[in-house]
Amino acid sequence: IPASVTVIGLGNMGVALADAFLKGGHPTTVWNRSADKANGLVEKGAVLAGSVREAIAASNLVVVCLSTYKVMQEQLAPLENELSGRVIVNLTTGTPEDARKTAKWVSEHGGQYLDGAIMAIPQMIGLPETLIFYGGSKALFEAYEPTLKLLGGNAAYLGEDYGVPLIYDLSLLTMMYGAWYGSMHAHALLSTANITGTEFLPYATNWVNHLIAPLLTDPVAARARDEGNFTTDVSNLNTNKLGLEHIIHASQEQGITVEWLMPLLTLATQKVAEGYGADSFDRVIEAIRKPLVK
């Protein structure tokens, strides 16, 4: 029989995680503040622990998926003496520093720790292609890899720094929110001429597939950026700064908020003022890393 596992936190994600362990044949103990969220899992064979203490005691491997690190700390701090010999795999989203501090705290109390970041929605948990990042001891990751792969077959080990999974996670999310906000801004602009999202969709699809996706995933550009080489024969910072100004003016003419775009224009303007107008737009990374102090 596979080893027993515990899942603490049965939100949308925690339920999916516990379900995947049950499907993988692991005796699974669960705990949640609102116990009723365990009902469906209990019907499938999970054991509902009466307390977090009981849940931790039930298994060597304890997976935590709560809304925030603060919530996790509130739940686990009183139980620091129960952590000895336990392996905590924390899939809660937070900052890299949250992860590093938690790892230190767990190890100070005799437990072992892996930090993870789930790059998926609950409906994707358990699929072979589902990506989950992990950081911590390589030996520990490898020991639990087959079990963790039940949650997402693409379990990517990123090294010993506990903060790195969340850096990858938050970097990918930053890309998502930038594109997502951009899409909402575009739709607000379109609606000023009564153009629907459905009418726009074929052109948006073409644009994303043939321009944006290649732009963001070009290996040559990635290497050039790594090397600090910002030359371009495609479109330079001057041209892109003008493009931003046109979007801002057109939006203002229509009464649409441009607050999100202004900092981007400020960064582009800073690099143009420093004499980099003929370089690629990627130059703004320098201004993001080191903004001018106002």
Q: Name the residue nearer to ligand NDP (CB basis): 36 or 259.
A: 36
Q: Name the residue nearer to ligand NDP (CB basis): 136 or 165.
A: 165
Distance, in Å, from the CA atom of 86 to the CA atom of 56, rounded to the nearest integer, reads: 8
* DSSP codes of every residue in 50-114: SSHHHHHHH-SEEEE--S-HHHHHHHHGGGGGG-TT-EEEE-----HHHHHHHHHHHHHTT-EEE
Cβ proximity of 256 and 185 under 8 Å: yes
Q: Name the residue nearer to ligand NDP (CB basis): 12 or 205.
A: 12
Q: Name the residue nearer to ligand NDP (CB basis): 125 or 247.
A: 125
Q: Minimum distance between the CB of residue 179 and ligand NDP, rounded to whole angstroms?
A: 17
Q: What is the dihedral of CA 170, 172, 177, 183, to 10 degrees?
A: 180
Q: Minimum distance between the CB of residue 110 and ligand NDP, rounded to whole angstroms?
A: 24
Q: Minimum distance between the CB of residue 119 and ligand NDP, rounded to whole angstroms?
A: 7
What's CA 180's distance to the chain center, in Å?
A: 15
Residue 283: DSSP 8-state: G
* Angle, CA of 242, 246 and 247, to the nearest 5°: 120
CB-based closest residue to ligand NDP: 11
Q: Name the residue nearer to ligand NDP (CB basis): 66 or 148.
A: 66
Residues that bind ligand NDP (CB under 6 A): 9-14, 32-34, 37, 65-67, 71, 75, 92-93, 118, 121-122
Q: Minimum distance between the CB of residue 268 and ligand NDP, rounded to whole angstroms?
A: 32
Q: Minimum distance between the CB of residue 8 and ligand NDP, rounded to whole angstroms?
A: 8
Name the residue with tokens 């981007």. 264
